[in-house]
Structures are given as structure tokens and as C-alpha cells.
Structure 1
Amino acid sequence: MFEIAVVTILLFVALLAGSVWIGLSLFATGYLLLAIFKPNIPMDIFSSGVIWGSVIPTPLLSLPLFILMSEVLVAAGLGRSLFSGLAPWLGRLPGGLLHVNVVGSTLFAAVSGSSAATTAIVGKVSLPELQARGYDRKLAMGSLAGAGTLGFLIPPSIIMIIYGVVAEQSILELFVAGVIPGLCLAALYMAYIAGHQIATGSQPRQERATWGARLQGMRDIGPVAALIVAIMGSLYLGLASVTELAAIGVLGALVIAVVMGRFTFPAMVRAGRRAVRTSAMIGLIIIGAALLNSAFGFLGIPKAIASQIASLGLSPFVLIAVLLVFYALLGMFLDGTSIIVMTLPITLPLVTAAGYDPIWFGIFVVVAVEISQITPPIGFNLFVIQSQTGEGIGTIARAALPFFFLLLAFALLLAVFPQLALWLPGTLR
């Protein structure tokens, strides 16, 4: 088993170091593992069963649709409307306009499903505005990096769709389960920002907004709020399947672009192309991970690891803490999709044997994957902010460090109070 682990790591690292795409690296690693350790297994068994089976589950149809919805909203310049709509309402709070990063990310997360897209669309407008008004640049970048991760936790979530398909769990229940944890995490971020600004006294003076400006702000965010209500209401009331909801979301995003006067054919074509590229990338990762996981199964790796961990006699909470560290370390080198599809066949049986609900574990894993978004060297949110500010990755990572610890603490809080994730979906059962 030790030899297999060493060969797996060396193969995968060598392929990544050679700039091979992650999906192809996963595929090649799985294929070579079998060729080395199980050469008697006919490789053509993967041509239909594993590869085709990994990409045909019906819920996966919603994935490219939610990605397209996000890209259409980005093309419509949603960030400008979010900032102008929220600023009159948040400017007088402790922390001031820094809260726009959190509330804006929360709103966009509810119509996107992508952490990187959330960070990009909010940061494109908020970072220049905050700098121009004299806000702490370090806290502005750190709060955006942390708040951007809400794109994974607040439904609809691309990562939740992938977890639901791989773990064979209800995506609808996962979406509903993410609502309360997402709002709680957003509140935790806002509390930290307010506490920091009160403690340091560094908040610039903000003029009191008129009620006219606030009403105009409501009009700016009204279309997005209506789309959020439609999506969340349909989810909770069970009026549409996840795939149907994704199609409705795309239509709603197009309507918003038209209502805001920002619908142009070239912009929509670019949005479609970006959605195709992202969907193809995720699909390739799913296929590669499916082959690698099948190779692990033939080699008996999941069973061996489960037996080793079970022999340690860890308590359920300690097991979760160990898995959190494990996911945080993986997040330094892999993206969230790869982490989930690679590790779930091993970790899910462990946590269910320890008595945890698989829906709860889905939310826990999403929070763990959120950590990877702000963890160098490949935290995607850090690179998004770097492209917008020109700051070094190290500088941005240090700015995001408090939010890294907040995410760690929140993940452990979920382990202590699992009903944060389970209460709302429990009302659907």
C-alpha cells in the first residue's frame, strides 16, 4: 500500500509539474496505476462503464446551465448594480462599505454558484471604490477573498451539484442545507469586519445616505433580489427540479440583462463561450477522477485507508478535525472539484460510519473546499484579486488569513452543531 501511495503522488505531481491539465493528470495517473500494479485488468472496461457513467447523471445537466447563468450576469455588469444598490444601506454600519464585499457576495452567490465568479464580479467594482474612499486596503482584499467563498456555500452551488452526483445524495436537500450555514458565515464575516474597524478606529467618515438614495439602491438590486426569491422559493417549495431551476435561472439572467439595458449580442456570445470552457474543464476533471477512483477501488486503497483510520479509534469529532486538516492541505494544491471527486469515495464511508449525515458532510466538505479558495499557492480567489489589484499573492494571502481562520472555526462549529445544516432540509422530509 505504501508503494502505491508513493507512486500515485509521484505520478500526479510530475504530471501537474509538466503543466498537464488536472483532468488529464487524474486520468493518466489512474491508468498508469492499473498498468503498473494490475496489468491483468483489461483497460477497455473503462471505455463505457466508468467514463460514460461519470458524466450521464441527470443532475449534471444543471451544471452548465448554472455556469451559463453566472456568466450572463457577469456580462450584464451586475457588480455595478450591487455596489450602488447596497452602499446607501451599509455605509453607516461599523465597517461601512466593507460590508458591501460580504453582502454583495452573498447576493451574487445566490445566483451564480461559483466562488471565483463571485469574487471577480464584486471585486471589480468594490475594490476601486473602497480604495478611493480611504478604506483599509488589506481588509478590503481579505474580506473580498473570504466573502467570495460564499459562492460555493449559498445555493445554487456548482460544488454541491458535484458532491450530490458523486455521493448520490439529493442536490435539492444539499441546496436547502446550505442556506443557514451560508447566512451564518456571512454574518460571521460582517461581525469580524465591524469588530476590526471599531478596534482600530480606521473607518473613513461616511455621509448619511438620503432615503431617495436608498430607494434608488433598492431599484438597482431589485431584479437580482427577484431572481434570488424565485430560485430559493422554488427550491424550498419543490416547484421545480434542480435542472429545471437552472434553466429558469438562465432565462431570468437574460431578462435581468435586458431590463438593465445591458444585453448585447457580442457580450452574450462571450458569456456562452466562457460557460462552455468552464463546463468542459469540470467535465474533464470528473472523467479523470472517475478513472482514478476506479483504479483505487481495484487496488483496494479506500478499504485499506478506512481500516487504518478505524484502527486508530478516533472519536467522531477528532475524525472530522483530522479530515479538515487533510482537506486544507489538499486545497493548497488542488481545486475544489478535484478534491471532492478524488476523496469522496474514501472519506464519505468514514464519516457515515462515525454517525454523521451525508447531507451534513456535503456542507462540511463545501466549507473545507472554500478554505482552498484562499489558500496559496493555487487559491483561485487570491489570483482573481491579484488580477484586479496587482498585489503579490503573498500580500493577498496574508490579508485573507483572518478569514482563513474564520472558515476553519466555522467548519468545526458545524461539527459541534450539525443542525445548522440539517434543520432546514429536515423540514422537507
Structure 2
Amino acid sequence: MDQLYQSILLIILLLVFLAGGFWVAMSLLAIGFVGIAVFASAPPGIVMSTTVWGSSASWTLTALPLFIWMGEILFRTKLSEDMFQGLAPWLTRLPGRLLHVNVLGCAVFAAVSGSSAATAMTIGKMSIPELSKRGYDEKMTIGSLAGSGTLGLLIPPSIIMIVYGVAAEVSIVKLFIAGVLPGVLLAALFMGYLAVWATIFPSRTPPADFNMTFREKIYASRRLIPVILLVIFVIGSIYWGWATATEAAACGVAGALILSLVTGSLTWKSFMESLMGATRSSCMIAFILAGAAFLSVAMGYTGLPRTLAEWIRDMQLSPYMLLVALTIFFIILGCFLDGISVVVLTVAIILPMVEAAGIDLLWFGIYVVLVVEMSQITPPVGFNLFVLQGLTGRNILYIAYAALPFFILMVIAVTLITIFPEIVTWLPDRSSMRG
């Protein structure tokens, strides 16, 4: 019981720090320090220094800044400008027509960005004015963009998968491969819903305003094709075992630099902006991971993970009931924190419970990413909602209502991977991975 009270006090103190506007990383370090200083006999300074160094000096983490830099380089190229022009000609015959640009555009950019907010911002800047000009339904435009923007977390290479892999000591390469089919599933659910909606309400979809031959479509997509080939090479090299995640990330950076040079968008200014942007993002995430590692050690001293694991065993909850409870917990937590913070704050506490229930940690990583995706479009702190509010000027509740059908589709996706876990595990079991 003393362990429970100690843990509750630490959690309350952490919430106070976060509500007070402290940096997440600083809050984690402070709570860990207090936990060891008050409730343990170990010297907190020495424990902090060794833990922070140990969590930072990880070869696995080197993939993180490289994938972020790859996304930053392509973000500053003409990719987003050419996205609409490259995708639109292929979608005129589908029910819903150009609304599918939001889904496919986000899927393509997700594969080079790894960030949900960056994906929603980039595609939104391009598609919202174009779709509005052509007379597409505003609510469906905003909703599809809010939902599809979350693909940035799921479709590899995903930053949050790297964070989970490091925190949970699960192979990042396997996580990347495991995220492919769920990412395709979610994109297919979104596109299927758009097609059904457009079939039921045909008057809300304007008629096709252009027609192209196959050769003209290929020419319109000429700038997108090299980027898609780069993504296929990066993910394929991991899947077929040609490269580790870090090696594939290095190849991705080199390919992105070559593409931006060939397209004429690589200047010294854009190079430095991409480098500094990647440096800032990488330092922020690494700092949070270091704080989370120290807090995990502090929680170990309180005995909370062990107590919770024993509690789960004693309650004899079925894995399904545990997942229902965790889904509600993650959604609530995601209403107030960004996805990376949710993962690093909970992994140390949740994983013993998950392992006690016999749930595969690789599968659980994809489940966590999907649930955290859901939190990106839930008020009051859904990051994608804020991005779209800035782009459209609409009330955040209006945007959340527009995104509600896509939230439900994510719940369906979580249900499907729970009933059919092979959706997650099939590809990793059959790939030739290394590293």
C-alpha cells in the first residue's frame, strides 16, 4: 500500500509540473529525482547521470535524427506543391474524387515525415484551397484531412515507433515492418468511407473538371514518382534485410538530398533550415527519452510496475478487457499530451501489465501508435485539430465534429488488429531483417 501512495504522490506532482507549463523532459527528470531522493536510499545524482547517459548512448537512436532530417529535407522541396498535381489525375473516376488526395497525399508524406502535425499541415496547405475552389464539401475536406494526417504516426518510418522501440526495447526494424499493413488498412478504411459517403450524397461532390490520357497522368506525376521510389527503397531495404533502420535512414537522407538537388530546391538556406529543424526536433525527443528513462528507474524504486503487474495477475483480467481499459486510458491521456509524451510517460508502467497479460510487445507497439493517433483528433489538445484550426479559422469543436467519423474508423482499425493480430505480425514474421 505504501508503494501505491508513493506512486500516486509522484503522479500528482508530475501533473502539477505539466499543468504549470514545465517542459516534459524537465518534469520527468524532476519527478524521478524526487522519487529516488524521498523514497529510496540510492544517490539520485549518480543514478540520474548513469541513466541519462545509458539511454542516450544507444546506436538504435541514431535512426531518429536521420529520419527526421530526411523528412525536413523533403518538406522544404517542391514535393508539397506538386502533390495535388501528381495525385489528382488518378482519382477523377473514384467516388469522392479529389477528396482522396487528402488520404493518399498524407500517406505519401507520412512515409517521408513521420510526424502527424507536419503531415496535416503540409497536405492541408495544398489541398484545402484547391478543394474549396472546386466546391468540395468543407466538413468532409477538413475531416478527411484531420484523420489522414494521423497516418504520419503509423506509416513507417515513424518517429513515435522509434521512441516506443527504444523505451520498450523492441526492434525498431520489426516495428517499421509491422506498421505497413495497419497503415494500408487505415488508409483503405478512410478511402472506403469517402467513396461510400460520395455515393450516398453525390450532389456534395463536384463533377470531374479535367480528363487526361495515361501518358499525361504519368507526366503530371513526374515529381512524385522519384519520392515514392525513394520511400519504397528505404522501407524495402529494411524488409528484405539489406539494411538496418539506421543504414536505411542514412540512404534516405542521401536520396532526399539528391532529389532536392535535381529538382532545384536545394539551396544553402534550405539545407541549413532542414539541418537545424532536424537538430531541434531530435534534441527535444532525445531529452524526453532521457527523462523518461530516469523516471522509469525511479518508478522501479517505488515498486509500482511490479505492484501493477501483480495486481493484473490477481484480477485475472482477460487481455481483451485490459486492452479496452488501456484504450480509454490512452485516449484520455492523449487529450492533454502529445503522442511522444504519452508513450514515454506510460511505457515503464504499462509494459509489466501487458507482459503479465501475455500480450506481444511488438503487436502492442502498433496498437499504442493507433490509439495515440486517435488522440491527435480529440479535443482539447488534439494536435491535428490545432493545425487545421490555423489553416481554416474554424472553431476547434467544428473540426473535431468533422473528424468524428474518422475517429470511429480508427476504433474499427484497433478492433480489427485485436481480432486479427496477424495484420500486424504477418509481415515481420516473413521478412529478412537485420539489426
Indicate the TM-score class for this superposition, using the shorter chain for normalisation.
Answer: over 0.9
- SS of the residue corresponding to residue 211 of structure 2 reads coil
1:367 aligns with 2:396: no
CA distance in 2: counterparts of 1:117 and 1:297, whole angstroms: 35
CA distance in 2: counterparts of 1:166 and 1:341, whole angstroms: 7
CA distance in 2: counterparts of 1:377 and 1:272, whole angstroms: 32
CA distance in 1: counterparts of 2:365 and 2:351, whole angstroms: 9
Which letter does structure 2 place at the counterpart of 1:14? V
Which letter does structure 2 place at the counterpart of 1:215? I
Residue 36 of structure 1, CA deviation:
3.3
TM-score, normalised relative to structure 1: 0.96
CA distance in 2: counterparts of 1:362 and 1:269, whole angstroms: 34
CA distance in 1: counterparts of 2:251 and 2:176, whole angstroms: 16
Residue 208 of structure 1, CA deviation:
4.3
Choose from 30, 33, 40 the match for 1:31: 33
Q: How does 1:351-362 map to 2 (within 5 A)?
A: 351-362=354-365
Greater mean deviation of Cα atoms: 181-190 or 47-56: 47-56
1:288 aligns with 2:288: no
Q: Which position in structure 2 is the counterpart of 1:111?
A: 112
- SS of the residue corresponding to residue 46 of structure 2 reads helix
Q: Which position in structure 2 is the counterpart of 1:221?
A: 224
Q: Which position in structure 1 is the counterpart of 2:179?
A: 178
Q: Which position in structure 1 is the counterpart of 2:125?
A: 124
CA distance in 2: counterparts of 1:83 and 1:219, whole angstroms: 12
- SS of the residue corresponding to residue 271 of structure 1 reads helix
Note the residue ranges of structure 1 that are not aligned, 5 or more in a row. Answer: none
Q: Which position in structure 2 is the counterpart of 1:19?
A: 21
Residue 142 of structure 1, CA deviation:
1.2
Q: Which position in structure 2 is the counterpart of 1:308?
A: 311
Which letter does structure 2 place at the counterpart of 1:242? A
Residue 421 of structure 1, CA deviation:
0.5
Residue 57 of structure 1, CA deviation:
1.3
Q: Which position in structure 1 is the counterpart of 2:257?
A: 254
Residue 2 of structure 1, CA deviation:
4.5
User: What do the CA deviations read for 1:33-71 (whole angstroms, capped 9, x no partner)?
Assistant: 333333x32112324321111111111001011111111
Q: Which position in structure 1 is the counterpart of 2:88?
A: 87
CA distance in 1: counterparts of 2:205 and 2:319, whole angstroms: 43
1:323 aligns with 2:326: yes
Greater mean deviation of Cα atoms: 9-18 or 103-112: 9-18
User: What do the CA deviations read for 1:217-244 (whole angstroms, capped 9, x no partner)?
Assistant: 3313111111012112211111111111
Residue 88 of structure 1, CA deviation:
0.5
Residue 342 of structure 1, CA deviation:
2.0
Residue 32 of structure 1, CA deviation:
2.1
Whether the 8 Å CA contact 1:375–1:397 is kept in 2: the answer is yes
CA distance in 1: counterparts of 2:406 and 2:307, whole angstroms: 35
Choose from 387, 406, 410 the match for 2:409: 406
Q: CA separation of 1:391/1:213 partners in 2, compared to 1, >3 Å: closer, same or farther?
A: farther
Which letter does structure 1 place at the counterpart of 2:88? A
- SS of the residue corresponding to residue 413 of structure 2 reads helix
Whether the 8 Å CA contact 1:89–1:209 is kept in 2: the answer is no
Which letter does structure 2 place at the counterpart of 1:200? F
TM-score, normalised relative to structure 2: 0.94
Q: CA separation of 1:13/1:342 partners in 2, compared to 1, >3 Å: closer, same or farther?
A: closer
User: What do the CA deviations read for 1:330-356 (whole angstroms, capped 9, x no partner)?
Assistant: 111122212222222232233233332
User: What do the CA deviations read for 1:97-137 (whole angstroms, capped 9, x no partner)?
Assistant: 11001111111112222212211211110111111111111
Whether the 8 Å CA contact 2:89–2:211 is kept in 1: the answer is yes
User: What do the CA deviations read for 1:120-163 (whole angstroms, capped 9, x no partner)?
Assistant: 21111011111111111111111111111111111111111111
Whether the 8 Å CA contact 2:237–2:243 is kept in 1: the answer is yes
Greater mean deviation of Cα atoms: 188-197 or 201-210: 201-210
Whether the 8 Å CA contact 1:111–1:227 is kept in 2: the answer is no
Whether the 8 Å CA contact 2:150–2:376 is kept in 1: the answer is yes
CA distance in 2: counterparts of 1:134 and 1:196, whole angstroms: 16
Whether the 8 Å CA contact 1:12–1:25 is kept in 2: the answer is yes
1:298 aligns with 2:272: no
- SS of the residue corresponding to residue 83 of structure 2 reads helix
Whether the 8 Å CA contact 2:37–2:43 is kept in 1: the answer is no
CA distance in 2: counterparts of 1:294 and 1:229, whole angstroms: 39
Q: Which position in structure 1 is the counterpart of 2:102?
A: 101
- SS of the residue corresponding to residue 113 of structure 2 reads coil
Which letter does structure 1 place at the counterpart of 2:413? F
Residue 411 of structure 1, CA deviation:
1.0
- SS of the residue corresponding to residue 111 of structure 1 reads helix
CA distance in 2: counterparts of 1:352 and 1:149, whole angstroms: 27
Which letter does structure 1 place at the counterpart of 2:110? A
Tell me the percent identity.
48
CA distance in 2: counterparts of 1:32 and 1:383, whole angstroms: 34
1:231 aligns with 2:230: no
Q: Which position in structure 1 is the counterpart of 2:151?
A: 150
Which letter does structure 2 place at the counterpart of 1:300? G
Count of matched residue pairs: 428
Q: How does 1:139-218 map to 2 (within 5 A)?
A: 139-201=140-202, 202-211=204-213, 212-218=215-221
Choose from 363, 384, 388 the match for 1:385: 388
Whether the 8 Å CA contact 1:332–1:375 is kept in 2: the answer is yes
Q: CA separation of 1:174/1:268 partners in 2, compared to 1, >3 Å: closer, same or farther?
A: same
Which letter does structure 2 place at the counterpart of 1:130? L
Q: Output the aligned Cα RMSD.
A: 1.6
Choose from 265, 273, 277 the match for 1:274: 277
1:345 aligns with 2:376: no
CA distance in 2: counterparts of 1:127 and 1:213, whole angstroms: 24
Residue 92 of structure 1, CA deviation:
2.5
Note the residue ranges of structure 2 that are not aligned, 5 or more in a row. Answer: none
